[in-house]
């Protein structure tokens, strides 16, 4: 079945220059493996379309049940150059949490 | 155990936070992080206009307000409030709070040494673009090295009540009291990494206690009185994140995880002047209401380099807005955008970029935005950036006429023409760390 990522994860995003970072965290640690399987660098790149001009990198933090994504060239130049209202990518984690992912019913059995 | 709290996550943060931290519960060290990357260029310009300025002007006023309390309770304050003029900052603190002993950390300002560095063969290439610094040499406004925690710890060792630094790393502010109090050494990589990560957790203030929190945000209690974060640090590098009893907000493992991920790059290589911290070694555990225990942190040797924060005059930009109401709010805003662009083209104006956003439709999330077919109103937001100030200035006169000569129902123009803003850009670069020497000056 398809669910929005926000059913099983939360997150926070910020910036370093023209790169935004999005941290995605499993609400229940047992869903970390679903994040690893469903939220790929290529999938994130495709999801944001032309918002991300550069590459997307993914890093795994199994100890926190979290993934960290770096979206290169995604902030309109970044810092003071950017003409974007969200020049620091503060809202991009919320955007990614609305992405639909595929899960087995059994994987959600323990969520109310 | 020592208690270290952060009372300011940036210059502009909540003025009541540091006051409550020293008044409402036990505390040993109050740290205040005033400097964002671009703040250095702002304070540099202030200093050029007035040699007595160039620092975080909120800071002396705060010290005047809490000076008696921190002396009574023996709370030491460490702040990067000095900007590009820590001496003037210290002078103002001493004027407003003459009973306090102040230590200044010098050495981060390398602006006077740049030509010497260049002629010695240090290219200071842009870490993002690879361009050599010589391409922008004449436009540089400020240049500061990120200083680590050891010079701040040396300042604490003088017995100062207040330590004022310029451009130190955010994490160094919280690591310094641990080095000072526990006697950690320059090769204690695991301990330094632990203190660095403690600093990362609290450096953005209330973002570690429920602010900007995406999990269960509606249920976080009493955000009007949110408590700012406190680290209870142990000599073995473990620590507990908490806040004062009775304050608002929330500290749990989910909140702390969000802040750990904030502005993170490669989690195995969090590079600071003091060490390289490994975020994949962090172990979190709930330890009672509003308490999170952090342990297990490992680190590696620091790199041979220090990072420079260089700012330079880049050009000009302006951003203007108009609001269109329904029906067809989005279509009207899109038509207005086409008209503005055609008029700019017909005027023969050239810009590095013209960027249009439709607030209420997709400005924040771009292609990922949820479909919004019938927005009751849409804000048109057009920005331009370029090297030619006259062109940018002409743009500022092209938006408001649309109220009368464009699509119907335009409003929200009450502030008139948008201002032209100077763009000061940021140039990150590395230099060998031995080029930077620091020293502590005590004022009492």
Whole-number pLDDT of residue B169: 96
B320 and B228 share one domain: no
Kindly report the CATH number assigned to the domain that includes residue B365: 3.30.70
Residue A102 predicted with pLDDT over 70: yes
Q: How far apart, in whole angstroms, are the C-alpha atoms of residue B291 and residue B278?
A: 22
| Segments of chain B with pLDDT less than 70 | none
Say yes or no: B282 and B367 in one domain.
no
Task: Please tell me the predicted confidence (pLDDT) of residue B48.
Answer: 85
* Minimal Cβ distance to B425: which of A48, A79, A91: A79
8 Å CB contact of A64 and B128: no
Domain ranges for chain A: 2-104
Handedness of CA A45, B379, A11, B7 (dihedral sign): positive
Sheet with strand A9-16: strands edge to edge: A9-16, A19-26, A66-71, A56-61
Shared domain for B320 and B294, answered yes or no, is: no
Q: Does residue A112 register a pLDDT over 60?
A: no
Question: What angle is formed at CA B56 by the lines to CA B256 and CA A75, rounded to 5 degrees?
Answer: 55
Mean pLDDT computed over every residue of chain A: 95
- ipTM score assigned to the predicted complex: 0.97
One domain for residues B196 and B337 = no
Residue B164 phi, psi dihedral angles, 5° rounding: -115, 120
The residue range of the domain holding B375 is 315-425
Residue B399: the pLDDT is 95
- Are B62 and B158 part of one and the same domain? yes
User: Does residue B104 lie within any of the structural domains?
Assistant: yes
pLDDT at residue A110 in the model:
67
Round the CA-based radius of gyration of chain A to a whole number and report it: 14
Nearest residue to B59 via CA among B41, B76, B81, B36:
B81
The count of CB pairs under 8 A between chains A and B is 138
Chain B residue at shortest CA distance from A59 = B266
> Domain check: are B217 and B242 in the same one?
yes
pLDDT given for residue B77 in this prediction = 98
- Residues of A within 8 A of B381 (CB-CB) are 85
Assess if residue B409 is contained within a domain. Answer: yes
Best mutation site among A8, A12, A51, A57 for testing chain B: the one with the most B CBs within 10 Å? A12
Predicted local confidence at residue A79, as pLDDT: 84
């Amino acid at each position: 079945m398809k669910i929005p990522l926000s059913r099983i994860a939360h997150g926070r995003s910020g910036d370093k220059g023209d790169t935004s970072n999005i941290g995605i965290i499993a609400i229940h640690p047992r869903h970390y493996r679903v994040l690893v399987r469903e939220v790929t660098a290529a999938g994130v790149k495709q999801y944001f379309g032309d918002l991300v001009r550069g590459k997307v990198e993914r890093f795994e933090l199994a100890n926190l049940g979290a993934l960290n994504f770096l979206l290169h060239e995604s902030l309109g130049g970044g810092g003071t150059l950017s003409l974007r209202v969200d020049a620091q990518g503060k809202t991009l984690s919320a955007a990614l949490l609305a992405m639909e992912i595929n899960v087995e019913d059994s994987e959600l059995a323990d969520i109310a | 155990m020592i208690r270290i709290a952060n009372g300011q996550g940036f210059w502009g943060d909540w003025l009541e936070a540091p006051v409550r931290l020293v008044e409402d519960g036990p505390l040993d060290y109050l740290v205040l992080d005033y400097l964002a990357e671009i703040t250095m260029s702002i304070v540099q310009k202030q200093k050029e206009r007035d040699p007595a300025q160039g620092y975080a002007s909120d800071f002396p006023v705060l010290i005047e307000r809490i000076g008696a309390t921190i002396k009574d309770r023996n709370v030491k304050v460490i702040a990067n409030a000095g900007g590009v003029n820590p001496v003037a900052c210290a002078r103002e603190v001493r004027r407003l709070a003459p009973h306090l002993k102040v230590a200044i950390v010098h050495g981060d300002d390398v602006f006077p040494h740049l030509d010497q560095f260049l002629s010695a063969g240090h290219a200071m290439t842009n870490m993002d673009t690879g361009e050599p610094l010589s391409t922008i040499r004449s436009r540089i406004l400020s240049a500061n090295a990120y200083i680590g925690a050891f010079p701040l710890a040396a300042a604490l060792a003088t017995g100062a009540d207040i330590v004022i630094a310029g451009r130190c790393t955010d994490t160094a502010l919280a690591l310094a009291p641990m080095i000072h109090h526990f006697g950690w050494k320059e090769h204690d990589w695991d301990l330094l990494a632990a203190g660095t990560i403690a600093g990362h957790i609290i450096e953005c203030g209330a973002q570690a206690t429920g602010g900007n929190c995406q999990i269960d945000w509606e249920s976080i209690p009493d955000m009007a009185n949110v408590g700012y974060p406190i680290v209870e640090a142990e000599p073995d590098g473990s620590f507990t994140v908490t806040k004062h009893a009775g304050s608002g907000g929330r500290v749990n493992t989910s909140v702390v995880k969000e802040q750990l991920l904030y502005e993170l790059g490669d989690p195995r290589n969090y590079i600071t002047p003091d060490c390289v911290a490994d975020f994949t070694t962090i172990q979190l555990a709930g330890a009672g209401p509003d308490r999170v225990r952090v342990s297990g942190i490992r680190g590696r040797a620091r790199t041979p380099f220090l990072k420079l924060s260089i700012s330079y005059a880049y050009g000009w930009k302006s951003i203007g807005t108009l609001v269109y109401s329904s029906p067809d709010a989005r279509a009207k805003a899109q038509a207005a955008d086409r008209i503005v662009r055609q008029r700019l083209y017909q005027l023969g104006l050239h810009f590095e970029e013209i960027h249009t956003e439709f607030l209420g439709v997709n400005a924040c999330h771009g292609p990922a935005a949820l479909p919004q077919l019938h927005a009751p109103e849409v804000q048109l937001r057009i920005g331009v950036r370029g090297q030619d100030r006259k062109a940018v200035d002409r743009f500022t006169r092209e938006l408001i006429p649309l109220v009368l000569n464009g699509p119907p129902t335009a409003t929200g123009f009450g502030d008139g023409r948008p201002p032209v803003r100077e763009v000061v850009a940021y140039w990150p670069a590395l230099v060998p760390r031995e080029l930077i020497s620091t020293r502590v000056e005590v004022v009492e």
